[in-house]
Amino acid sequence: MSIPSGHSTVTVLGLGPMGRSLAGAFLEAGLRTTVWNRTPGRDRELIGQGAAGAATAEEAVAASDLIVVCLVNYDAADAVLRQDAVTRALKGRTVVNLTADTPDRARGTAGWATAHGIRYLDGAIMTPAPSIGTPEAVFLHSGPQDLFDEHLPVLEALGGTHTHLGEEIGRAATYDVALLDIFWTAMAGYAHAVAIARAEGVTARELAPFAQGIGAILPPLFAEFAEDADSGSYSGAINPITSAVSTMTHVVAVSEAHGIDAGVMRAAEGMARRVIGLGHGTDGFIRVAEVLGRH
C-alpha cells in the first residue's frame, strides 16, 4: 500500500477493543500513530508496538492531521471533542468519526465541526474488531467526497472495503442502524428458537445446522423484497402474509405452552395482522415496512 507524502500520521481517540484494533492496523501499515484513551493504561501494548501515547486529548489531536474517533457513543465523543482546548486544536484538521450513534447525532456533530473549522467525515464499522486489518473488514463512510478521497489511502490501512455512501453526512449512521436492526432482531429470533427447541428436548447443537440453512435462504429474499419495496409491488405470490400469520401463531402457541415469552413473535404477528386488516392479505411480508412507515 502506498501512502502519499504528508499522510503518514494518524491519531486514534478511544482504545476499547475496536479502537485498539484500528490503531494496531495503522501501526502495522507503518503509519506514525498517536493514541489516547480516557481511561489510562489501555495504550501500553500499542506503545510497545511503536505508538506514541498522548497524555491528553489535546496533545493527541495536535500530533496528526487525521483524527480517527472510536468511542462508545456520541455523548462520549462530544465530551472529548467539544472541550475548548481540543476544539481549538482540531481546527483545520480532519475528524473521521467511527463512533456508532444515530443519523441526527452525526448531522449535529458535522454542523458543530463546520462551525469550528474542522473537516468532518462520519463512518460506521460493520464487522467485529478481529476483522480490522484483514480483507473481511467493512467500513461505511459519508460526507464530502473530496475529503473521503483525500484520506482514503490512510483509511485503507484498516483493511477490507471502504464504501462512500454519499455526501449527506447521516447516511453512514442510517446504514449502520438499519443493518444492526437486522442483526439484533435475527439474534433475538435465534435465541428464542433455541429456547423453544430446548423446551422440546432438542439441543442448540442439533438445531444449529438447520438454523444455518434458514439463514442461507435470507440473502436472495432480501434482494427480492427490496425490489418489491422500492417498486411498491409487495408481491405475495410465493408466500402471502395470510399464510405467514398462520405459521407465526404456531410459534406463539408452542412458546407459551412452555412458559416462554412470545412477545417478539406476537409483535411480528401483530404487524402482519395490521397489514391484513388494511386489505393487503395477498401481499408479501415486506408490505409491513410500508405500513410501519405510515404517519
Residue reference for cell 407465526: 248
Domains of the chain listed by start with CATH number? 9-167 (3.40.50.720), 203-292 (1.10.1040.10)
Nearest residue to 105 via CA among 70, 68, 77, 85:
77
Question: According to the model, what pLDDT value does residue 8 have?
Answer: 82
**Percentage of the chain modeled with pLDDT above 70:** 97
Average pLDDT over residues 29-57: 96
pLDDT digits (tens, 9 = 90+) for 74-131: 999 999 999 999 999 999 999 999 999 999 999 999 999 999 999 999 999 999 999 9
Q: How many residues does the chain have?
A: 295
Percentage of residues in the chain having pLDDT higher than 90: 95
Residue 21 has pLDDT above 60, yes or no: yes
Residue range 264-288, pLDDT digits in tens:
999 999 999 999 999 999 999 999 9
Q: What is the pTM of this model?
A: 0.93
What confidence tens digit (pLDDT) does each residue in 172-207 have?
999 999 999 999 999 999 999 999 999 999 999 999
Closest CA to 283 of 248, 246, 233: 233
- The string of pLDDT tens digits covering residues 245-259 is 999 999 999 999 999
User: What's the rounded mean pLDDT across residues 148-172?
Assistant: 98
Whether residue 4 has pLDDT greater than 60: no
Radius of gyration for the chain, computed over Cα atoms and rounded to the nearest angstrom: 23
pLDDT average, residue stretch 143-172: 98
Burial of 75 from C-beta contacts in 10 A (0-12 / 13-18 / 19+): exposed
| pLDDT confidence band for 1 (50 / 70 / 90) | very low
